[in-house]
């Protein structure tokens, strides 16, 4: 981590985006008070995580990237054990377990062992577990990675409801649609630094055009077309990929007409809205990194 | 302390699910040992005279050693794979870490559970010793806590070390090159007087010998206060070093 600086406000959803190895999980661990910052100042809920880690963690909920459920135990027992860690009395845990399992739609699985549960069910159980202490801040490290679309939508729906109840959400994700759905504000991280910060709308406005025209040419034509379109006058910016050419424009259809007028006939063309994914790729590059 | 108890109670909840399967090895292990060593081998030994055993039957001689070495084996079983698995397999240490529990609480809570398992297993063996007629003194009731302490002298440092282990093969080495020789050469199955002098010196320095010697002295009814205190002190220091180290190794492993 290198010189990151941010403030969170109560009740907002704040996202950390970035490629693998950008430092998202390390930041999450620091906020979760299980990793001491080597330098700089970190305050969580107004307290010092090194001195008051235990007291801060009592007010946090954590949904880790990898499930840490005890698969030998039942769904209900997992909540019991976890509630015990927070020193909650059995009666309170029982009441909250009923409400939380209802919230994540797992009530009918309460007595089942965790072992045979699918990834989506486990995630929901992990979310329920993280809420047993009624946390003020919920930390989610890639909450929907590896889930099927149905399960992702259920998780998003639950997280959105939590936000509406005033729980502060801090999450990391690779999924731009997830960030757009959930985050009020987000930062794009790369190499342990913040590459950009703002609301999803705001970032798209700043780093991308309203529309994107994607053109695919006959392979023989690709280089010729790329030369002509590299500095195309009606595009804010253009990007030549191995198989496609992207034009960042304010009006996609008008740009397509201009391309045709310039004597270029694409095999396929697609006009779409500028997205957070465009912002992300612009800021962190298209290269694969380990 | 209160935080450690929270961690301990969670181990109890989990144990409630599996105690049935674990109880069988706790019961049959010592039963097999007492039958094979005490009755089987014992008949052979007794027929050759037991002067070098101090005049007691081989069963009387070996039973308290089975108690102490059994505690060592329980300690190894509870402090090796379960600790390793808690960060590698089911990751329940990581779950606990996200709560108010600190790494030291997680360690101490787990150690309390190991102590409970030691208390259970050694109690069983003590009862079996009595049932086999292998007890010569009422002082044997003190051999029980001494066996628990012997177990802790192993469990505390082994758990402190197990959290730092990266591959499970390390445990196989400890079994083969530490626990096996201790089991064989700590005056367990034969008196140390049978060993050459230099080997005897090494045996006196090992923790299992102190556990075996004191359990035996209590069970046979010839313990003396000073010797007993020496053995207890040795074992307690070892357990204390383990507890001191465990808080640190757990901190280093979990809080990074």
Over chain B, what is the mean pLDDT? 94
Q: In this structure, are A19 and A144 located in the same domain?
A: yes
Task: Read off the pLDDT of each residue in A196-208 and give the average, rounded to a whole number.
Answer: 92
Q: Which of B7, B95, B109, B113 to mutate to test the interface with A (most CBs of A within 10 A)?
A: B95
pLDDT at A290 exceeding the cut of 70: no
Q: Considering the domain boundaries, does residue A135 fall inside one? A: yes
Higher pLDDT, B217 or A50: B217
Report pLDDT for A192: 84
Question: Which residues share a beta bridge with A141?
Answer: A172
Mean pLDDT of A252-267: 91
Could you tell me the strand order of the sheet in which A137-141 lies? A60-63, A137-141, A168-173, A13-17, A185-190, A193-198
In terms of domains, do A172 and A131 share one?
A: yes
Q: Judge if A151 and A257 occupy the same domain.
A: no
pLDDT at residue A1 tops 70: no
The reported pLDDT for the residue numbered A21 is 82
Same domain, residue pair A35 and A73: yes
**CB B13 to CB A71 under 8 A?**
no
CATH of residue A235's domain is: 3.30.70.920
Considering only CB atoms, which chain A residues are within 8 Å of B4? none
Does residue A35 form part of some domain?
yes
For residues A166 and A132, membership in a common domain is answered with: yes
Q: B49-83: per-residue pLDDT in tens?
A: 888 888 899 999 999 999 999 999 999 999 999 99
What does the H/E/C string look like for chain A?
CCCCCCCCCCCCEEEEECCCCCCHHHHHHHHCCCCCCCCCCCCECCECHHHHHHHHHCCEEEECCCCCCCCCCEHHHHHHHHHHHCCCCHHHHHHHHHHHHHHCCCHHHCCCECCCCCHHHHHHHHHHHHCCCCCCEEEEECCCCCCCHHHHHHHHHHHHHHHHCCCEEEEEECCHHHHHHHCCEEEEEECCEEEEEECHHHHHHHHCCCEEEEEECCHHHHHHHHHHHCCCCCCCEEEECCCCEEEEECCHHHHHHHHHHCCCCCCEEEEEECCHHHHHHHHHCCCCCC
Is A4 within a domain?
A: no
Report strand pairing: A13-17 vs A168-173: parallel
What's the structural domain count of chain A? 2
Interface test with B, best of A37, A56, A68 (most B CBs within 10 A): A68
Q: Write out pLDDT tens, residues A154-188.
A: 889 999 999 999 999 999 998 888 998 899 999 99
The answer on pLDDT for A144 being more than 60 is yes
Task: Output the average pLDDT for chain A.
Answer: 91
Quick: pLDDT tens for A85-100. Answer: 999 999 999 999 999 9
Of B13, B91, B94, the CB nearest to A80: B13
Contact across the interface for B94 and A68, Cβ inside 8 Å: yes
Phi, psi dihedral angles at B197 (to 5 degrees): -50, -45
A231 pLDDT more than 90 = no
Chain segment B222-252, per-residue pLDDT in tens = 999 999 999 999 999 999 999 999 999 999 9
Q: What is the pTM of this model?
A: 0.90
> How far is the C-alpha of A155 from the C-alpha of A138, rounded, in Å?
14
- Domain interval for residue A251: 209-274
Domain membership of residue A288 (yes or no) is no
Residue A2 pLDDT greater than 70, yes or no: no
Which residues of chain B approach chain A closer than 8 Å at the C-beta?
Answer: 2-3, 6-7, 9-10, 13-14, 17-18, 90-92, 94-102, 254-256
Between A and B, how many residue pairs show a Cβ–Cβ distance under 8 A? 73
Which residues of chain A have a CB within 8 Å of the CB of B106?
none
HSE-CB at B175 with a 13 A cutoff on CA atoms is 12
Mutating which of B19, B22, B82, B99 best tests the A interface, going by the most A Cβ atoms within 10 A?
A: B99
Closest CA to B72 of B209, B187, B167, B194: B209
Q: Are B95 and A72 a contacting pair at CB < 8 A?
A: no
Q: What is the pLDDT of residue B17?
A: 83
- For residue B135, pLDDT over 90 is answered with yes
Q: Residue A222 falls within a domain, yes or no? A: yes
**Shared domain check, A226 and A134:** no
In chain B, how many domains are there? 1
pLDDT for res A285: 83
By the 10 Å C-beta count (0-12 exposed, 13-18 middle, 19+ buried), A40 is classed as exposed
Looking at the structure, tell me whether residues A88 and A142 fall in a common domain. yes
How many angstroms separate the CA of residue A265 from the nearest CA in chain B? 56
pLDDT of residue A289 exceeding 70? no
> Sorting pLDDT into bands at 50, 70 and 90, what band is B84?
very high
- Of A204, A232, A253, the residue at which a domain comes to its end is A204
Give the pLDDT band (50/70/90) at residue A14: very high
Find the closest chain B residue to A30 by CA distance. Answer: B256
Q: Which domain holds residue B192?
A: 2-254
The domain boundary, picked from A204, A234, A263, lies at: A204
The answer to whether residues A127 and A264 belong to one domain is: no
Return the CATH number at A192.
3.40.50.300
- Give the pLDDT confidence of B10-45 residue by residue, as tens digits: 999 989 888 888 888 888 989 999 999 888 999 999
Q: Are residues A198 and A67 in the same domain?
A: yes
Angle (CA) A262-A263-A264 rounded to 5° is: 100
| Facing A85 at nearest CB: one of B6, B14, B90 | B6
pLDDT recorded at residue B34: 93
Distance CA B58, CA A61 (A): 59
What is residue B155's predicted lDDT score, i.e. its pLDDT?
A: 98
ipTM of the complex: 0.87
């Amino acid at each position: 981590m290198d010189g990151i600086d941010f403030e969170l406000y109560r009740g907002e959803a704040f996202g950390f985006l970035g490629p693998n190895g950008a430092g998202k999980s390390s930041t999450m661990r620091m906020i979760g008070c299980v990793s001491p910052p080597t330098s700089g100042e970190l305050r969580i809920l107004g307290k010092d995580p090194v001195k008051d880690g235990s007291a801060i963690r009592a007010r946090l909920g954590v949904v880790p990237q990898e499930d840490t459920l005890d698969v030998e135990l039942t769904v209900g027992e997992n909540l019991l054990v976890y509630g015990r860690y927070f020193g909650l009395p059995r009666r309170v845990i029982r009441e909250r377990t009923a409400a939380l399992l209802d919230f994540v739609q797992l009530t009918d699985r309460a007595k089942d062992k965790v072992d045979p549960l699918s990834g989506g069910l486990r995630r929901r159980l992990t979310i329920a577990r993280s809420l047993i202490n009624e946390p003020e801040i919920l930390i989610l490290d890639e909450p929907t990675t590896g889930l099927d679309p149905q399960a992702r939508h259920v998780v998003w729906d639950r997280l959105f409801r939590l936000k509406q109840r005033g729980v502060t959400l801090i999450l990391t994700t690779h999924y731009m649609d997830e960030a757009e759905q959930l985050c009020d504000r987000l930062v794009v991280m790369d190499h342990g630094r913040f590459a950009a910060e703002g609301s999803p709308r705001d970032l798209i406005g700043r780093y991308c055009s309203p529309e994107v025209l994607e053109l695919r040419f006959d392979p023989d034509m690709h280089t010729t077309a790329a030369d002509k379109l590299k500095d195309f006058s009606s595009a804010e910016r253009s990007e030549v990929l191995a198989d496609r050419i992207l034009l960042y424009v304010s009006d996609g259809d008008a740009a397509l007409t201009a391309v045709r007028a310039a004597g270029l006939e694409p095999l396929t063309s697609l006009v779409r809205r500028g997205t957070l994914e465009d912002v992300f790729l612009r800021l962190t590059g298209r290269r694969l990194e380990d | 302390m209160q935080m450690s108890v929270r961690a301990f109670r969670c181990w109890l909840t989990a144990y409630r699910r599996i105690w049935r399967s674990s109880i069988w090895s706790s019961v049959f292990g010592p039963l097999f040992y007492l039958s094979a060593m005490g009755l089987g081998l014992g008949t052979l030994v007794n027929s050759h005279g037991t002067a070098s055993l101090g005049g007691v039957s081989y069963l009387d001689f070996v039973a308290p050693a089975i108690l102490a070495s059994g505690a060592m084996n329980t300690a190894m079983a509870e402090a090796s794979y379960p600790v390793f698995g808690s960060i590698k397999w089911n990751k329940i240490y990581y779950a606990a870490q996200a709560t108010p529990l600190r790494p030291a609480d997680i360690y101490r809570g787990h150690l309390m559970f190991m102590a409970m398992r030691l208390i259970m297993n050694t109690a069983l063996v003590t009862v079996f010793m009595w049932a086999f007629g292998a007890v010569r003194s009422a002082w044997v009731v003190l051999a029980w806590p001494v066996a628990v302490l012997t177990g802790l002298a192993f469990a505390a440092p082994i758990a402190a070390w197990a959290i730092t282990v990266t591959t499970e093969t390390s445990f196989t080495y400890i079994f083969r090159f530490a626990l096996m020789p201790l089991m064989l050469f700590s005056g367990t199955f034969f008196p140390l007087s049978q060993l050459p002098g230099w080997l005897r010196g090494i045996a006196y320095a090992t923790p299992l010998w102190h556990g075996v010697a004191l359990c035996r002295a209590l069970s046979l009814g010839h313990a003396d206060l000073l010797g007993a205190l020496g053995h207890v002190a040795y074992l307690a220091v070892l357990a204390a070093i383990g507890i001191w180290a465990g808080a640190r190794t757990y901190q280093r492993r979990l809080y990074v």
